């Protein structure tokens, strides 16, 4: 009888251990908090909410988008770093967060390479050179020629100092040997409004922010900073076609987690996110909004961040751009 009882206890103990192991593997087992470092309504917010909705359906858990703007995305990044490294806090991070900020600021409240682990690149927002409809510029060649002929005579707007929009124009300035004056705004919308109104002649903008203005004829798209023409703007040439093959720039928006997050959780989260991005209705919504869907592995995303860091840090150092 005692032997039988002991065997029963042993079986129950093994079952409990197996059940515990199964519970640990059942990620996600509770709601996921998805931090977005920008206010609601922008491109990053749209992308997070679009993917999060499908992700929630796929995993059977709520995915709660939490907008935390401030500090040029540093506020949200720091909050993510302080969160538990368990896969239940994720961050939408763009190249401002992961690439530009470390070069633009002497001190940051987070270290992107040490404190954050890449999960997947969700999508790209390619940059487009646009001018006001009444600016007098009819092509990118015309714009570059006039800017070259009048050093310092043309001002350009951006969505903010250190933004992809700002650095994309700085890249064009270097490659085309131009001198133009930067006028930063707090976001793409007010910058575009002044380009439309004629206060400033030009800016780099992503299609998500500029599509309505382009379609409405309020601004003219002159060239895209993308390796290929955009399907939404088939008649607009790339800078490479115009002889400036190095003028490639995009806002790159991906998902990262605290660096101590277990590898198996990162792998599971990556698989779930990529499945959500590849869901046909999600891809359609992204393309219609002006986003190029990606969905890659953590290793591929990390390699891209390394190459982007090398490329943009050199530009920032050479131009001595700082935001401190």
Q: List where CATH 3.40.190.150 sits in the chain.
A: 32-124+251-319
Residue 186 burial class via C-beta count within 10 angstroms: exposed 0-12, middle 13-18, buried 19 and up: exposed
> How far is it between the farthest Cα atoms of the chain?
100
CA–CA distance, 227 with 229 (Å, rounded to integer): 7
Backbone torsions φ then ψ of 232, nearest 5 degrees: -80, -20
Predicted structure pTM score: 0.87
Residue among 20, 18, 17, 28 at smallest CA distance from 264: 28
Q: List where CATH 3.40.190.10 sits in the chain.
A: 126-242
Query: What average pLDDT score do residues 240-248 get?
Result: 96
Residue 135 CA from chain centroid, whole number: 30
- The answer as to CATH 3.40.50.300 being correct for domain 126-242 is no
Q: What is the pLDDT of residues 145-201, one digit of tens each?
A: 999 999 999 999 998 889 999 999 999 999 999 999 999 998 888 999 999 999 999
Q: Which CATH superfamily is domain 32-124+251-319 in?
A: Bordetella uptake gene, domain 1 (3.40.190.150)
Q: Is residue 20 within 8 Å of residue 70, measured between CB atoms? A: no
Q: What is the pLDDT of residues 22-79, one digit of tens each?
A: 445 589 999 999 999 988 888 899 999 999 999 999 999 999 999 999 888 999 999 9
Residue 18 binned pLDDT confidence (cut-offs 50, 70, 90): very low
């Amino acid at each position: 009888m005692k032997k039988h009882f002991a065997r029963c206890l042993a079986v129950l103990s093994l079952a409990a251990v197996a059940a515990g192991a199964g519970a640990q593997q059942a990620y996600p087992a509770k709601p996921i908090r998805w931090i977005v470092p920008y206010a609601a309504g922008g491109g990053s917010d749209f992308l997070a909410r679009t993917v999060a909705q499908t992700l929630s359906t796929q995993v059977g858990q709520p995915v709660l988008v939490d907008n935390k703007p401030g500090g040029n995305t540093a506020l949200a990044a720091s909050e993510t770093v302080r969160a538990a490294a368990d896969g239940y806090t994720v961050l939408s991070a763009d190249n401002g967060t992961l690439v530009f900020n470390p070069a633009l600021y002497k001190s940051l409240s987070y270290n992107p390479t040490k404190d954050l682990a890449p999960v997947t690149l969700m999508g790209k927002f390619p940059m487009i050179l646009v001018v006001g409809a009444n600016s007098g510029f009819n092509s990118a060649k015309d714009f570059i020629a006039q800017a070259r002929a009048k050093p310092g005579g043309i001002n350009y707007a951006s969505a903010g100092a250190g933004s992809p929009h700002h650095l994309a124009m700085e890249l064009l300035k270097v490659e085309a040997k131009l001198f133009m004056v930067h006028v930063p705004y707090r976001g793409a919308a007010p910058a575009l409004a002044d380009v439309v109104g004629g206060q400033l002649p030009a800016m780099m903008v992503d299609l998500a922010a500029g599509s309505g203005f382009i379609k409405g004829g309020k601004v003219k798209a002159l060239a895209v900073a993308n390796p290929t023409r955009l399907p939404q703007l088939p008649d607009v040439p790339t800078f490479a076609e115009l002889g400036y093959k190095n003028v490639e720039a995009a806002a790159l928006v991906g998902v990262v987690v605290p660096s101590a997050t277990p590898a198996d959780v990162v792998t599971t989260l990556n698989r779930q996110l990529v499945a959500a991005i590849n869901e046909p209705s999600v891809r359609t919504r992204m393309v219609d909004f002006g986003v190029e869907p990606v969905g890659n592995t953590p290793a591929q995303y990390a390699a891209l961040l390394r190459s982007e860091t090398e490329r943009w840090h050199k530009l920032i150092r050479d131009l001595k751009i700082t935001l401190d």
